[in-house]
Structure 1
Amino acid sequence: MDDRPRISSPSPYATFSRGDWAALRADTPMTLNDADLERLSSVDDPIDMDEVEQIYLPISRLLAFYVAARHQLFRATQRFLGHSETRVPYIVAVAGSVAVGKSTTARVLRALLARWPNMPKVDLVTTDGFLLPNAVLARDGLMGRKGFPESYDVQSLLRFVSDIKAGKGRLTAPVYSHLVYDVVPGERMTIETPDIVILEGLNVLQTGERPKNGRVTPFVSDFIDFGIYLDADEPMLRRWYVERFLRLRETAFRDPKSYFRKYAQVSKQEALAAAETLWSEINLPNLRENIRPTRPRADLILKKGESHRIEEVRLRKI
């Protein structure tokens, strides 16, 4: 019998249990209350104070160190160059599958970061606004690929993140309505001289093949300072998606303006079948082909368990 100790394969990540990660909160103060959490969470992605204390406060503390280090590097560069320029925003990306809880994570992080002692200005932008309008997707036969990389106005998104990193003071981004399932014509959100921008979306960590003709082709992920990937097993994601679809059938889908209002008018069994089809034909292929392959690019991977609680944290080693 071989009694030699087994050597685990090397990993670029340090892995933490929930308890070990929670201990890294140290003295980071809690700045949110129950009313804040009720406003920030969603019906399909519940979050409680324990989750904030054990998972999100350590993340906030870690980001405080990272942002401070970036500022020191910026000042060192300015000293080297012999001139002073406006500091550029720090971009935090939140990526992951449909129904994994990206929106709640992004909102909670924004609230925590904006309440640091120095009160930084934190903006949250979702890449949904950069989806091509439904009319364009329908014209090009892409409605069944909505959420896939080809369904986005990639050039506009690249210009937006490039302008953020160029330090442009006032920028606007398109607005997306989940009710009408489309970009809102003529509506824009404004961000102005933020310290931190949280960019939330399915494919924000994605890259692609470089062209062979030598042309420079940037990707959105090239502009990200810190990437977070929300992870969960496929059966959980499928269940959460279907459960969310059925809840929306009883609520938002009943709005006459809802793109999905037809599912509020059919039987529960028919709605269930539609949700399963949308998951298996659109969302699951997108997860496997485009979203999950970006997970190794993340600096922080948050693995969720059955109850939406984050059970494991993996932090990229520096």
Structure 2
Amino acid sequence: MKQQTKPTRYSPYITISREEWARQRDDAALVFENDISKLQGLNEPLTSEEVLAIYLPLARLLNLHVTAAQQLHATTSRFLNNHTHKVPYIIGIAGSVAVGKSTTARVLQRLLSAFPNHTRVDLVTTDGFLYPNRVLEQKGLMNRKGFPESYDIRKLIQFLANVKSGMEKVSAPIYSHLEYDIITEEQQQIESPDIVIVEGINVLQVRNREQREPAVFVSDFFDFSIYVHAAEKDLREWYIARFESLRSTAFQDPHSYFHRYAHLSDKETVEMATHIWNEINKPNLEQNIEPTRYRASLILEKGSHHFVQSIQLRKT
């Protein structure tokens, strides 16, 4: 018997089961199994079945949205009797630390670039728009890195405004997770993309009204937005597991900002990761990230196994 989409009553979203969502994929689309190991994040399982069941249908949906936007642009151009320069379709991806946003962004970038009408897909992370450590130290914000106030929001908004205005070449700052700081001598170059994916924990954030806020918000530039959701207890476990893996890999590099954690015992590693989660990541999740969840166009609901178990799609 065919499983029906749940018509969530009095909700702006339609809830779709994993099984029904998987039926929406385009079987003619390509699956890049050789790329899976390159696309997944640390301690974030990614399988060909997950790509087929979740990401191919999502890429197909996004392709339909992008195609409609391109057709609307062409119609408007004809109406104005000119050929206005195309503007990129911008997709925002939000969610907690350790939830798998980066993997979602990379997979979508790979799949969306395979469609012939939008082969140029760029991925930008908002980490590059964090204030440099020296500025955070001056402001006393090093322990609030990742909170809304630790970002140069005006710089991020200006970047998005430039992209959305159709500028042919736009540059974005680059962040080093090894050095835990901005790389001042390098820039990411964005040149006439069809799609730009913007990934970051607070991209759906509406700034605190007590702060001097800009007239526009980051999400105002998004054509479609995705929130990757998981229960806090699962997020905590995933963060601790990732911290343990990093201790024996990236933290071993003497140039790593976190090299001081490289020689912790197993017990000390868990204690330190738990402390960081409880003191920084959990408050940021509860105060700033989680409240933006229902501003998204689509929500990917993950289970404890790290795989998507259901999807909520905003009604239109």
User: Does the alignment reach a TM-score above 0.5?
Assistant: yes
Alignment of 1:168-317 (within 5 A): 168-208=167-207, 217-317=215-315
The 10-residue stretch of structure 1 (195-204 or 259-268) with the greater mean CA deviation from structure 2: 259-268
Change (3 A) 1:212 1:138: closer
8 A Cα contact 2:31 2:48, kept in partner: no
* Aligned-partner SS, 2:70: helix
RMSD: 1.8
Change (3 A) 1:273 1:209: closer
Q: CA–CA distance in 1 between the matches of 2:211 and 2:147?
A: 23
What does residue 19 of structure 1 align with? 19
Number of residue pairs matched by the alignment: 310
Look up the equivalent residue of 1:51 and give its one-letter code: E
Q: CA deviation at 1:267?
A: 2.0
Q: CA–CA distance in 2 between the matches of 1:119 and 1:140?
A: 42
Listed as ranges, the gaps of 5+ residues in structure 2 are 1-6
Q: CA–CA distance in 2 between the matches of 1:90 and 1:270?
A: 45
8 A Cα contact 1:210 1:217, kept in partner: no
The 10-residue stretch of structure 1 (41-50 or 218-227) with the greater mean CA deviation from structure 2: 41-50
Change (3 A) 1:142 1:211: closer
Q: CA deviation at 1:44?
A: 1.4
Q: CA–CA distance in 1 between the matches of 2:28 and 2:290?
A: 31
Look up the equivalent residue of 2:158 and give its one-letter code: R
* Aligned-partner SS, 2:24: helix
* Aligned-partner SS, 2:20: helix
Listed as ranges, the gaps of 5+ residues in structure 1 are 1-6
Q: CA deviation at 1:78?
A: 1.9
8 A Cα contact 2:129 2:173, kept in partner: yes
Look up the equivalent residue of 2:186 and give its one-letter code: E
The 10-residue stretch of structure 1 (94-103 or 182-191) with the greater mean CA deviation from structure 2: 182-191
Q: CA deviation at 1:30?
A: 2.2
Look up the equivalent residue of 1:27 and give its one-letter code: D
What does residue 29 of structure 1 align with? 29
8 A Cα contact 1:31 1:115, kept in partner: no
Q: CA deviation at 1:268?
A: 2.1
Residue 117 (structure 1) aligned with residue 126 (structure 2): no
What does residue 3 of structure 1 align with? none
* Aligned-partner SS, 2:137: helix
8 A Cα contact 1:245 1:275, kept in partner: yes
Q: CA deviation at 1:80?
A: 2.7
8 A Cα contact 1:129 1:176, kept in partner: yes
Change (3 A) 1:170 1:49: same
Change (3 A) 1:137 1:103: same
Q: CA–CA distance in 2 between the matches of 1:191 and 1:153?
A: 19
Q: CA deviation at 1:186?
A: 1.7
8 A Cα contact 2:8 2:14, kept in partner: no
8 A Cα contact 1:60 1:109, kept in partner: yes
Q: CA deviation at 1:8?
A: 6.1
Q: CA deviation at 1:138?
A: 1.0
Superimposed CA distance per residue, residues 42-94 of structure 1 (whole angstroms, 9 cap, x where no aligned partner)? 23111000000000000011011101111122122223323221110000111
* Aligned-partner SS, 1:25: coil
Residue 161 (structure 1) aligned with residue 152 (structure 2): no
Look up the equivalent residue of 2:305 and give its one-letter code: S
Q: CA deviation at 1:9?
A: 3.5
Q: CA–CA distance in 2 between the matches of 1:249 and 1:279?
A: 16
Please report the TM-score for the alignment, with normalisation by the length of structure 2.
Answer: 0.94
8 A Cα contact 1:30 1:53, kept in partner: no
Q: CA–CA distance in 2 between the matches of 1:179 and 1:90?
A: 31
What does residue 4 of structure 1 align with? none
8 A Cα contact 2:148 2:207, kept in partner: no
Look up the equivalent residue of 1:125 and give its one-letter code: V
Residue 77 (structure 1) aligned with residue 55 (structure 2): no
Percent sequence identity over aligned pairs: 52
Q: CA–CA distance in 2 between the matches of 1:317 and 1:167?
A: 29
Q: CA–CA distance in 2 between the matches of 1:192 and 1:25?
A: 30
Please report the TM-score for the alignment, with normalisation by the length of structure 1.
Answer: 0.94
Q: CA deviation at 1:28?
A: 4.4
Alignment of 1:129-144 (within 5 A): 129-144=128-143
Q: CA–CA distance in 2 between the matches of 1:212 and 1:233?
A: 30
Look up the equivalent residue of 2:269 and give its one-letter code: A
Change (3 A) 1:162 1:28: farther
* Aligned-partner SS, 1:147: coil
Q: CA–CA distance in 1 between the matches of 2:283 and 2:175?
A: 23
8 A Cα contact 1:110 1:123, kept in partner: yes
Change (3 A) 1:231 1:8: closer
Change (3 A) 1:118 1:216: closer
Q: CA–CA distance in 2 between the matches of 1:8 and 1:188?
A: 44
* Aligned-partner SS, 1:24: coil
8 A Cα contact 2:22 2:54, kept in partner: yes
Q: CA deviation at 1:10?
A: 1.0
Look up the equivalent residue of 2:259 and give its one-letter code: R
